[in-house]
Amino acid sequence: MINLFRNLNPVNLFVLAAYTLFMRIAIFVNLPDQLNFEFLEPYAKLLIQIPLENSFSVTANLALAAILTFLQAIIFNRVINNHGLMAKPSFLPALLYITGASLFTQFLILSPPLICNFLLIWIMDKFLKIGKAPNAMMMMFDIGMIIALGSLIYFPYIVFLAMLWLSLLLYRPFNWREWLSGLVGFLTIFFIIAVFYYWNDNISQFYRIWRPLVNTFPSKLRIKYDDYLVLIPVSVIIVLATLQLRENFFRSFISTRKAFQMLFFMFIIALISFYTKPDFRVYHFILSVPPGAVLLAYYFSNAKKRWFYESLFAVLVVSIQYFLFV
């Protein structure tokens, strides 16, 4: 299957669509009793009223999640190919994106982080363009606004604000205007929200929005390790990809090296940002799928022994299906 997706053949779109449904068989066979979807954070609902909590049936919720994941995979694939991060243009990024977005049952439902992945792929594209832009001020301003919009949907998305300065450190010489422009873009959105709260004599509630940022990082996590055994084959592929990346690191373009460093930081931020939401759910970690899928796709794009990488991918898919069913 990997060999099929190593080519940029339009027919692969149909195979990819079928694969998206295949990876969701388990949840369609064992439908949940009820699924709720909250599109916005409570502090944004005062400004924007979109009552979607009970608008979708369980089947509609799952079907819409599958469609959104497929669309994200196509957009993600185009972004990665446009920036030349793989050995050659292919559908491997899309394939691995859908695979990563199917790891856990909660990844398969409609959720705020799933919606935010559209924004995450968007800012990923913009970050990858920073090094080529003569002036990054407007681009950073746009990214700041996108992060603010994402924070209205899902508050932990706000932690990606750190990516503004990490990416500038990687790609650009110091320019204080560029360092400030992203923050100004972010504050523009929240200034509008603050004004709205003030008009409604509710400014004290606005200050409470920021409280989760000072949450202490949990020292203990309640994890059922049996549920995360599916991550073993993923970890093996990540290790192999890291070794492959290290081997090719100094032979690749400087822009490619910086891109993978930027994606590494994005992956880490996606993982640790859960601390801002004490009642976080597993679906939070779908935010780590876009940067993680790049690394997985990189391995399969550069792997040499067909029998090995095809077997490894088969083990990954079988593991995912097994743990989704049990």
Domain boundaries, the chain: 2-211+227-325
Sign of CA dihedral 38, 39, 45, 49: negative
What letter would DSSP give residue 223?
-
Total-model pTM: 0.91
User: What is the residue-level pLDDT of the chain in tens, covering all 326 positions?
Assistant: 788 888 888 888 999 999 999 999 988 888 887 777 777 776 776 666 666 666 678 888 899 999 999 999 999 999 999 988 887 889 999 999 999 999 988 899 888 899 999 999 999 999 998 888 888 889 999 999 999 999 988 888 999 999 999 999 988 888 889 899 999 999 998 888 888 888 877 777 777 777 777 666 665 555 566 667 888 899 999 999 888 888 877 666 777 788 888 999 999 999 888 888 777 788 889 999 999 999 999 999 888 888 898 999 999 999 999 888 87
Percent of the chain past pLDDT 70, that is, above it, reads 90
What letter would DSSP give residue 136?
-
- Environment class of residue 199 by beta-carbon count within 10 Å: exposed (0-12), middle (13-18) or buried (19+)? exposed
Other beta carbons within 10 Å of 223: 9
Contacts of 148 (CB under 8 A, 6+ apart): 158, 185, 186, 187, 188, 189, 190
Give the rounded distance of the alpha carbon of 85 from its chain centre: 17
For helices 231-248 and 306-325, the axis angle rounded to 10 degrees is: 150
pLDDT of residue 31: 83
259 and 86 in contact (C-beta within 8 Å)?
Answer: no
Stretch (H or E) spanning 213? none
Residue among 110, 184, 183 nearest 153 (CA): 110
Q: Which two tokens stand for residue 184?
A: 């100004």
Residue among 115, 111, 158 nearest 283 (CA): 111
**Count, residues in the chain:** 326
d(CA 74, CA 78): 6
Other beta carbons within 10 Å of 219: 5
pLDDT of residue 216: 66
24 and 70 in contact (C-beta within 8 Å)?
Answer: no
120 and 72 in contact (C-beta within 8 Å)?
Answer: no
d(CA 137, CA 238): 34
List pLDDT tens digits, range 64-122: 999 999 999 999 999 999 988 887 889 999 999 999 999 988 899 888 899 999 999 99
pLDDT of residue 48: 67
pLDDT of residue 217: 61
pLDDT of residue 198: 82
What letter would DSSP give residue 120?
H
